[in-house]
Amino acid sequence: MTDGLVPLIAGNWKMNGLRRDLDELRAIARAAGAGAGPRPEILICPPATLLMAAAEICADSPVRLGGQDCHSEANGMHTGDLSAEMLADAGAAYVILGHSERRAEHGETSETVRIKAHAALRAGLTPIICVGETRAERDAGEASSLVAAQLKASIPPHPGPALVVAYEPVWAIGTGHTPTPTEVAEMHAFIRAELAADLGDRAARVRLLYGGSVRPENVTEWAAIDNVNGVLVGGASLKSADFMQIVSAFE
Ligand code: PEP
């Protein structure tokens, strides 16, 4: 549920998408521009190779764009990396940080994520900080303590109201397995309380996204939950029809 916040529906294309796939983004931009009612905020995070072309496509639409990672420095000798400033220059307004795939495949720690979040804020980007437990951690009853530790270490001290947090249980990403609505409700209430302890009143303005096998068939379950202010969508964001059905659930 939106809790007075504009919901954010974010698509993470991961390492998917060639120029021809921008037709899906064109369709999303067209659909997002149609209709008169209040719409959730729509965000697509394509691979960086498509960002500038995506920015042209979305120039006259409400669709926002984001990166999937950034370096902590603004520029320098970091072959293959992209800075937050470069993403902003290419048309991004957001950047996903600490996705579990980056934590697992690139050894990113929560401390790395905090430094990158600071860089994102420096460049005027809104960081979407991902947290979430593995299946083994949930089975061991450690989900809350793990997420609390990730939040504490990943969020910079003065993030401002622009911060977004995505709760993504690692075992739900791309698997078709999802937590129960009760488990998501409990974790989101817990995250809100943890943020309030650190950020005070500002915590109420932080949007909390659920991510992990969100599909058109299950999105209404997540949209109805308190403290779920949107979703982070991987696979189902690659097809405009699926993605826009997910958007509709938050209208
Ligand atoms: C993700 O990439 O963050 C994600 C949640 O993927 P999927 O929706 O495919 O599970």
pLDDT digits over 195-248, tens only?
A: 999 999 899 999 999 999 999 999 999 999 999 999 999 999 999 999 999 999
Q: Is the dihedral of CA 141, 211, 184, 94 positive or negative?
A: positive
Indicate whether 251 belongs to any domain: no
Indicate whether 243 belongs to any domain: no
Grade residue 65 by pLDDT with cuts at 50, 70 and 90: very high
Specify the pTM: 0.96
CA of 196 to the centre of ligand 1 (A): 27
| Three-class secondary structure assignment of 162-195 | CCEEEECCHHHCCCCCCCCHHHHHHHHHHHHHHH
Indicate whether 176 belongs to any domain: yes
Amino acid letter, 18: L
> Which token pair is 192?
């809100």
Does residue 212 line the site of ligand 1, with CB under 6 A?
Answer: yes
Does residue 237 line the site of ligand 1, with CB under 6 A?
Answer: no
Which residues are identified as catalytic?
99, 168
Domain with residue 144: its CATH number is: 3.20.20.70
* C-alpha span between 39 and 1 (Å, rounded): 14
How high is the pLDDT of residue 1? 54
Indicate whether 29 belongs to any domain: no
Other beta carbons within 10 angstroms of residue 249's beta carbon come to 19
What are the residues whose beta carbons fall under 8 Å from the beta carbon of 140, sequence distance 6 or more?
A: none
| pLDDT, tens only, 37-62 | 778 999 999 999 999 999 999 999 99
HSE-up of 56 (CA within 13 Å, CB side)? 6
Does residue 45 line the site of ligand 1, with CB under 6 A?
Answer: no
| pLDDT, tens only, 120-153 | 999 999 999 999 999 999 999 999 999 999 999 9
- H or E segment and range at residue 209: strand 207-211
Indicate whether 186 belongs to any domain: yes
Indicate whether 170 belongs to any domain: yes
For the chain, give the percent of residues with pLDDT over 70.
Answer: 98
* C-alpha span between 119 and 42 (Å, rounded): 23
In the chain, how many domains are there?
A: 1
Indicate whether 86 belongs to any domain: yes
* Average pLDDT of the residues of the chain: 95
How high is the pLDDT of residue 4? 84
Domain that residue 213 falls in? 8-16+64-234
Mapped onto helix, strand or coil, the DSSP state of residue 231 is: strand
